A and B are shown apart, each in its own frame.
Chain A
Amino acid sequence: MSYLKLNSLKKTYPNGVTAVKDIDLEIEKGEFVVILGPSGCGKTTTLRMLAGLEEVTNGSIILNGRDITHLPPRQRDISMIFQSYAVWPHMTVAENIAYPLKLRKMDKHTIHSKVQEVARICNILDYLNRYPAQLSGGQRQRVAVARALAVDSKLSLMDEPLSNLDAKLRTSVRTFLKEIHRNTGATTIFVTHDQAEAMALADRIVVMNEGKIEQVGSTREIYNQCGSLFTAQFMGTPPANIQKVSLISNQERLIANDKNAETQFSLDLGNQSAFPGIDRYIGEEIFLAIRPENINISEPKGINETSIEIVEPQGAYTILVTKVFGSEWKIMLEGDIDIRIGQKVSLIIDPGKIMLFDAQSKKRVNFS
């Protein structure tokens, strides 16, 4: 029996919109799970159902063996960090941290030492007597973290807590949150639309789309072994190059052709033996996805030939833009590449890094 269990959780709003459709998820104690997805995918609704701020239409939530599906938020033994921090403006920092403890009927002495303890962890000891309006966004964020830490909850929920911070602060608070998690081992569910945040923080990522879970896995699995076309499109900056192609087999080599055959381009994907189970897709349409960093270039060799159209140097790496099947593909190469615009190159693709998706179900058809 896992620590937190979501059984076919469903949310339909009174206006008939179903935001969350049958979510099943199991989370172990101490895990840091990130729910990732574009806006409107149901990730925040799922989190709010866990918090008890949104009524559950169907299904159940079991936390530590207790059914909390229909309990009010205060009886769930959870803590939460809100997008706007929700640090109460009429209380000082110390009062903000102490208020939940007072509600738990702790004695004054315990509250005082608890406030001191979490304030030290979050590095806000100097601001205890200030009001939130006198603090910066990053400091308010730390107050929100301290308040959540102080209550020692069974489950810690975070609703896009970094989205209101500027880019520089975001990475440092991210590191801070990870450090806090390492020290406390609190079971955490973190909601975000930012894949960099998700990959940096998560033990496991849950990718959501249109109210359903697309894929659950470690950062590595989600990034390299995309289970669906959506995950391939969503993960990565720049995202994977994706093209609808028809497959043909030519002398044991797998060839992808432009489905409309407008451009005469065809891409040699390598030995067919590298794609077990691909036979039934020969002659069929299929989605092809390759990550920009999984393409390399060489001198023109007669196959997979194209020309470089745009060069975007980034210092640590270089992004090249080329036309493949008439659409723009990006290639990411390490270091500062010396290349001219218009230069002819051959694309070198590792067959093991190619991801193919069924044209109808959009699910992965080859796993390596």
Chain B
Amino acid sequence: MNRMRRAGFFKSPIWFLVPVIIYYAAFWIRPTISVIIESFTDKSGVFSFANYVRLFSQKSMRTAFLNTILFTLGSAILQFILAFALALWLNKKFRFSNLVLFITLIPMAFPPAAVGILWKTGLYRFGWINSFLCSLGLMNPANPVDWMSFRNLYAVILLIIIDTWTVLPSVMIILLAGLQNFNKEFEEAGWVFGANKFQTLKDIVFPIMKPTIITAMILRMIAAVQVWLIAVMIFGYNVVPFLVERIAYNVDVITFAKYARKDAYTISVIVAAIVLISVSIYLRVSGEKQKGGEIA
């Protein structure tokens, strides 16, 4: 009896999970736990909020916090509106829609470093953006704008625009996939039964597309909270602070400063908390009450 039970234990399919459990324990859970512990202890290893208190007393950290929130909200809203409009347009299958789709996808192929260089060459006083604006007659060549001198809110807005240029295709492609699965007759029923184009979009297309929209927006929000590379590529470290930029700054630039490591760990925990909280708020606000089965 006992032997049989033991044989059953060793034959249990649970064992197939062992590799993945070991992997997660070693490379995910352990480092996560040690980061959390590090963030809540002082130099001597005693529990304390000292790291958090110190960080939030820094002006650059408070700016980073504010910038990250502005960036996340701004890019999420702008990208959703543009991506949805673009997806609706491309879904119409007009004559050259495949060519247009191909062109819109190009920015996705650029690595962030290349995007940084591309835009940076445009942002200088004699860069391509100013030449372009001059050739359109929108700018006086005698008085060019120095985009690189932008700081604070203006710098954040500039980064939102650059980020949108880069990631718009990835948001758009998720929404487009959703629209292509969308049964056109739902929309047509709306028109036939008396709704105009806007009412159909608002009352029928958006609600049915909601699962797809939520997926796209969550992916975007997580990526937006973690913005840093594009800011560093364009403006350099410590100019337009973001939360994750602060981590990289502590780890890469001021590596041997007294609290560099502690600060990096603590900001990591803050970023993770922000991502979790904002995603759960978003899920709650978007009122996910799935009716089960066969949506769209």
Contact = CB atoms under 8 A, between A and B. Distances in A.
A45 B207 CA distance: 28
A277 interface: no
B187 to A, nearest CB: 9
Contacts of B291: 89-90, 131, 133-134
A74 B196 contact: yes
B183 A88 contact: no
Interface in B161-200: 183, 185-186, 188-196, 199
Nearest to A48: B188
Interface in A87-131: 88-90, 99-100, 103-104, 131
A84 B208 contact: no
Nearest to A77: B194
A89 B192 contact: no
B190 to A, nearest CB: 8
A79 B188 CA distance: 11
Nearest to B187: A86
Contact of A53 (B183, B191, B196, B204): B191
Contact of A147 (B193, B210, B295): B193
A82 B188 contact: yes
Interface string B262-296: 00000000000000000000000000000111111
A51 B188 CA distance: 9
A72 interface: yes
Contact of A82 (B95, B189, B203): B189
Contact of B191 (A14, A52, A132): A52
Contacts of A82: 185, 188-189
A6 interface: no
Given A84-B185, A86-B186, A100 B193 contact: yes
Nearest to A130: B291
A88 B195 contact: no
Contacts of B95: 14
B194 A86 contact: no
Give the interface centre of A14, A82, A83 by most chain B CB atoms within 10 Å.
Answer: A82
Interface in B195-242: 195-196, 199, 203-204, 207-208, 210
A86 B188 contact: yes
Give the interface centre of B186, B194, B292, B295 by most chain A CB atoms within 10 Å.
Answer: B194
Interface in A39-73: 51-53, 72-73
A78 interface: yes
Interface of B: 95, 183, 185-186, 188-196, 199, 203-204, 207-208, 210, 291-296
Given A90-B207, A133-B294, 7 more contacts: A84-B183, A84-B185, A86-B188, A90-B291, A99-B193, A100-B193, A131-B291
- Nearest first, the 7 A-B pairs at minimum CB distance are A100-B193, A86-B185, A86-B189, A103-B194, A133-B293, A131-B291, A90-B207
